[in-house]
A and B are shown apart, each in its own frame.
Chain A
């Protein structure tokens, strides 16, 4: 009886959250999935007027810009997961153990871009990277960084890293503060040098924090849109398109294809990518836990 009361009460308390989750996540998500099988321009009131089967998926499969967007998305995710996390780890260890005078100020400066709107960050960096921008003025060059097919994605990754590295750093810093310092003191007594301490004690102890940072960056990476849109609008000629900007191009872009059904198909691909990685992570985590 007690169990039953608890059960109903629990459900009752969960209702608002379930309602919000269903309204803003599950229902739009399922609608989007269904929409990917329809020819919908975005203007019709009847979203499901013309069923086209898997035509929208075939369309993106045959579009070379989809593959460019997919490749760029994985490149962006790679940058966010490995480069951004890696630099944040190094910086956090350096600042935490460095014990230098202005470490709080340095941390604040590194964290500062996180509080800025990505659109503002994009606009500032656009001014820096433009052909007549700050960088070329300093270097005395006339190079178009954002119109370089080979360079543009790396620049977007750099700007994204610059903005969000402070966020990872703060999480690492919290991890370092909660670390059992006695282990390091013991290693001192055992005569361990700094390299041994970092690679054999600090990094292994920070592993859960690293996983957390990587997952946050991975999810953020797949959802990247604003920084790409503001810096390049997916250009030049779609060569810096990521999946989210490619979705936008198909759905809303002025003078674009006006195919929201195709956009929904792209959204499904993004969902599938994140789901696959999330499931893989759970399986691997379970396996590691079992082995330990």
Chain B
């Protein structure tokens, strides 16, 4: 009996010792919402290996969530004061909230010259900065667009547009109708994720923006100009036309993008996927992106009419903040700096993820990789055309705009009602 008690106590002691020594190392926690984005996952695995080798006794724990579940983790973590050392932040209203709560390191202030040099112009990137200071370190860049399977378009009897061009709204209606006859969708759409609705809307607005490059949408969200203008009405009508003509299935209204719409597109239930982007290059179906042939075409959002100017949504995707209250702040900064290095840019590229710090890499060399979809992504990012801002801070008006568009899809509100409501919500006084 005494022997057994001794054995048990010894076992307890050994396990306690192992547990304590396991915890003796410093752990840096990195969290983002890029679940399913293979390029980011693979690149970070390499960064972690490199960082841990350069910093003995330091372990990096990387966790991914989906967009829909990310805030369930981040909010309690940050508000308890025990947030991760490094975490992704959405560069819209969330950035203001997280920054105002004092969680983010001011990168402009604390980065060394080498890091600033690597960031180049990105140190001044407006959507990741507040009051001229950078708070989020950009990781990957993208064009946001529509992807289509080439063979499906051809099967339906349509021609693919020239690179950089896209179909009009009416052409998408025709494609949608032809697809429906074959039991398919024109476009897979995941509007449960609000950005999927807003980003397309922003693109439509910019096509009709007579004052481009003035940010008319930003001004309208601020209540400085009226929503009762053709550029906003046309954007809403474009959505109405696509929806009412069944370019996407009615079921889409309860679908998210990251899991459901994307999953169904991978299963070839739809010809194209709306609101997709280069972040998914590494997760594209392998059979349609081999070194010998590319079976996927990326194109911008639908054009309002054939003579609409080409308008592209270009932005950064994963944007990392460093926890200002982290006990490992210096190490966290070192890790994020590493992800912005020229070597890291090449690592991102090797996994089909377009790096945000493009100035650090040889674009021609990049665009000649064996990953044909990635090469097109690089080319698309360099395509000339109107550039659309997709990150805004006006949470309340954006909520009402989203709700209005979703209700319009259901047929319970009209374009007139949305315009009136938006003028009301933004406080536009005429």
Using a CB–CB distance below 8 Å, which chain A residues touch chain B?
41-45, 47, 65, 130-132, 144, 146-147, 149, 231-233, 235-239, 251-258, 260
Whole-angstrom distance between the alpha carbons of A251 and B256 in the complex? 18
Number of chain B residues close to chain A: CB under 8 A: 48
Contact A43 B98 (CB under 8 A): yes
Contact A147 B251 (CB under 8 A): yes
Whole-angstrom distance between the alpha carbons of A260 and B75 in the complex? 10
The interface residues of chain A, by DSSP majority, are classed as loop
Our pick among A47, A231, A252, A258 for the contact of B97 (Cβ within 8 Å) is A258
Our pick among A47, A65, A132, A144 for the contact of B79 (Cβ within 8 Å) is A47
Please, which residues of chain B bring their CB within 8 A of the CB of A131? 249-251
Q: Please name the residue on chain B nearest to A133 by beta carbon.
A: B251
Report the minimal beta-carbon distance from B103 to chain A, rounded to whole angstroms. Answer: 7
Whole-angstrom distance between the alpha carbons of A238 and B191 in the complex? 12
Report the minimal beta-carbon distance from B181 to chain A, rounded to whole angstroms. Answer: 12
Our pick among B68, B97, B252, B406 for the contact of A254 (Cβ within 8 Å) is B68
Report the minimal beta-carbon distance from A185 to chain B, rounded to whole angstroms. Answer: 54
Please, which residues of chain A bring their CB within 8 A of the CB of B92? 255
Report the minimal beta-carbon distance from A25 to chain B, rounded to whole angstroms. Answer: 18
Contact A43 B79 (CB under 8 A): yes
Contact B79 A147 (CB under 8 A): no
A–B pairs, 24, beta carbons within 8 Å: A41-B97, A42-B79, A43-B74, A43-B94, A43-B101, A45-B325, A131-B250, A131-B251, A132-B251, A144-B250, A144-B253, A147-B253, A149-B412, A232-B254, A233-B192, A233-B256, A236-B253, A252-B72, A254-B193, A254-B194, A255-B398, A255-B402, A256-B194, A258-B395
Contact A254 B71 (CB under 8 A): yes
Report the minimal beta-carbon distance from A137 to chain B, rounded to whole angstroms. Answer: 11
The interface residues of chain B, by DSSP majority, are classed as helix
User: Does B49 sit at the interface, judged by CB under 8 A?
Assistant: no
The 4 closest A-B pairs by CB, nearest first: A255-B194, A144-B250, A237-B406, A42-B75
Report the minimal beta-carbon distance from B271 to chain A, rounded to whole angstroms. Answer: 15
Please, which residues of chain A bring their CB within 8 A of the CB of B402? 255
User: Does B67 sit at the interface, judged by CB under 8 A?
Assistant: yes
Contact A237 B403 (CB under 8 A): yes
Contact A43 B192 (CB under 8 A): no
Q: With contacts A41-B97, A65-B403 known, what are 14 further pairs, Cβ within 8 A?
A: A43-B98, A45-B79, A45-B81, A45-B325, A147-B251, A235-B192, A236-B410, A238-B403, A255-B92, A255-B193, A255-B195, A256-B399, A257-B396, A258-B97
Contact B410 A253 (CB under 8 A): no
Whole-angstrom distance between the alpha carbons of A238 and B406 in the complex? 9
Contact A43 B78 (CB under 8 A): yes
Known: A43-B98, A232-B254, A255-B195. A149 touches B399 (CB 8 A): no
User: Does B234 sit at the interface, judged by CB under 8 A?
Assistant: no
Known: A144-B249, A257-B395. A44 touches B101 (CB 8 A): yes
B70, B103, B192, most chain A CB atoms within 10 A? B192
Q: Please name the residue on chain B nearest to A240 by beta carbon.
A: B254
Please, which residues of chain A bring their CB within 8 A of the CB of B100? 44
Please, which residues of chain B bring their CB within 8 A of the CB of A232? 254
